[in-house]
Structure 1
Amino acid sequence: MILKKILRGKAEPVGEPKKVQSEMPEEKPKDTKLSDPNYSRNKLYKKGVSLMADEKMEEAVRSFEDALRIDPGHVDSLLKLGYTRFHMTDLAGAMDAYNKVHEIDVTNADAWNLKGLIYYRQKNYEKALECVEKAIESNPTDGMSWYNKGCYHSLLNHIPEAIEGLKRSIEIDVKNAKKAVRDKDFENIRADNGYRRIVEVVVLESIRQGYHKVGQIVWT
């Protein structure tokens, strides 16, 4: 007969070691339907992005719309849906997608910048400028927003403001200088000394030296 000791009202065998269950390392859940509640949405979103890259825009739209049926508030799908519609010249559909983004987050800089492109396509440069300024207010380090701001000011013949916008965009990303050289939207400022100085002196020298990060260009 095995002797037992009483411990807090419970009988426990004496002399028999307790069995200790070995702890197995926990496996991280894999990205599957069972472990990820957003699996189907993400799969459709990634499919849409891939179709965009292959320039299969109509199929991409269907994938993003299917993703949004699962999760109507998925901002990335809304942004990509709007961008795809924009490239299909469905400007109203693109604006609708961006408006839905701003219903979720009115400060979303990407949606403001992309709205600006819609107004740009419609040659409404004042409205485009309003949108890109809101984009910069939300994300002041986005070089493309500053670049677009420079473009819109140039198209409105606001020379000093166009130079400043372009200059700021290049400070953030020197590759914007190469775009500006061939961009017809800067036609109005090409005769300006500030533009020539940016393109011919500071920027080209910076590219030659391999500068590509914020703060490496020094304006004197």
Structure 2
Amino acid sequence: MGIPEIPVAKRGGHGYHRRAMGSESRLSPAETWYAQGVEAYKAGKYEEALVAFARALSSDPKYHRALVFQGLSHMELKNYDDARRALEAAVELAPTYAKAHNALGNVYRRTGDLDLAIQSFTKAASLEPRVAEYHYNVGISRLDINHVPEAIDALKEAARYAPKDVDIQAELAAAFMRNKAYHDALQVLEDFVRRCPEDDRVVEIKVRISKLKKKIEDERAAAGEAPPPPPEA
């Protein structure tokens, strides 16, 4: 599966909520440009967003949130060198800002710098351990370099904090399968279906469950094992 979208900064942060309340005059010039840039970014207007973030940073060169979104905008435009420079600057200015580390990790991952990506995602997870996305990013990056046991550990953490996220559950099951832990994979998928029967992707997950059960049966048959007894009525 692909890299998950980076969450857009919440409106409640950094004075941004005041714009929504009609008090834009109380924002600094940097905050005003930042707010406009975020709106452009959310609308997929990345070139327009870059202009706004550049103006925000011209007004306040240490505005690390603007640097983060500048980096994200460059990443969406596949300007990876510019994205990396902006996000490395953001991390240097705000070393405890988890979103900056996570965003930088995504740039590293897209450019194939997987060791650096894992370092960045791990740092983000250490700063905000209850954010499932950061553990998920560690997990899928570990899978990229075939560190399957470590990937499973990270994806378990992600699943713990987001038990209803189908992407996380599916990726955890896939990691178990790569480790030939088919029963664990089956348990993850069946638990998800019981937990979220109305999810849009339940039909897809049920198809995976059927295929996985068939694989387990085939493995048993190949090993000369008797099939399990049918469940009691």
Provide TM-score, normalisation by structure 1.
0.70
Structure 2 residue 126 is matched with structure 1 residue 137: yes
Kindly report which structure 2 residues correspond to 1:2-81, keeping only aligned pairs within 5 A, or say none: 31=23, 33=25, 36=26, 38-81=27-70
Matches of 1:180 and 1:87, distance apart in 2: 26
Q: Which structure's CA Rg is the greater one?
A: 1
Deviations 1:53-73 (A, max 9, x none): 221111110011111111111
Deviation, structure 1 residue 88:
0.7
SS at match of 1:208: coil
Deviation, structure 1 residue 179:
5.2
Matches of 2:68 and 2:144, distance apart in 1: 26
The residue number in structure 1 matching 2:215 is none
Deviation, structure 1 residue 190:
7.8
Q: Which runs of 4+ in 1 moved over 4 A?
A: 185-188
Of 33, 56, 73, the residue aligned with 1:84 is 73
Matches of 1:76 and 1:175, distance apart in 2: 29
| RMSD, aligned α-carbons | 2.6
Deviations 1:13-66 (A, max 9, x none): xxxxxxxxxxxxxxxxx8354xx3x43222211211111122111111001111
Contact kept in structure 2, 1:98 and 1:111, CA below 8 Å = yes
Give the number of the structure whose residues are more often helix, by fraction.
2
Deviation, structure 1 residue 180:
5.3
Cα distance 1:119–1:82, how it changes in 2: closer, same or farther (>3 A)?
A: same
- What letter is aligned with 1:31? S
Structure 2 residue 155 is matched with structure 1 residue 166: yes
Name structure 1 gaps, 5 residues minimum.
Answer: 1-29, 211-220
Name structure 2 gaps, 5 residues minimum.
Answer: 1-21, 200-233
Deviations 1:106-160 (A, max 9, x none): 2221111111111211222222111111111111111101001110111121222
Cα distance 1:131–1:188, how it changes in 2: closer, same or farther (>3 A)?
A: farther
Q: Percent of counterpart pairs with the same letter?
A: 23
SS at match of 2:23: coil
Provide TM-score, normalisation by structure 2.
0.67
The residue number in structure 2 matching 1:105 is 94
Cα distance 1:180–1:125, how it changes in 2: closer, same or farther (>3 A)?
A: farther
Kindly report which structure 2 residues correspond to 1:178-197, keeping only aligned pairs within 5 A, or say none: 178=167, 181=170, 189=178, 191-193=180-182, 194-197=184-187
Cα distance 1:189–1:180, how it changes in 2: closer, same or farther (>3 A)?
A: farther
